Amino acid sequence: MDDDLDLLPDIREFVNIAEGTTEQVEIELKRCVNVCGRLVVEGTGQPIAGARVSISFGKTYEHTDCQTDEHGRFSAKVLPGKARVSVISFFGTGIRVERHPRIEIEVPEQAEFEIPVVKVAVKAN
Every domain of the chain and the residues it spans: 3-12+28-120
H runs (alpha helix) in the chain: none
Q: What is the largest CA-CA distance in the chain?
A: 59
Q: Which CATH code for domain 3-12+28-120? A: 2.60.40.10
Mean pLDDT across the chain: 87
Residues of the chain with pLDDT under 50: 1
What is the pLDDT at residue 1?
46
Please state, in angstroms and as integers, the Cα–Cα distance from residue 71 to each residue in 18, 36, 37, 68, 80, following that order.
48, 12, 10, 7, 26
What is the pLDDT at residue 98?
77
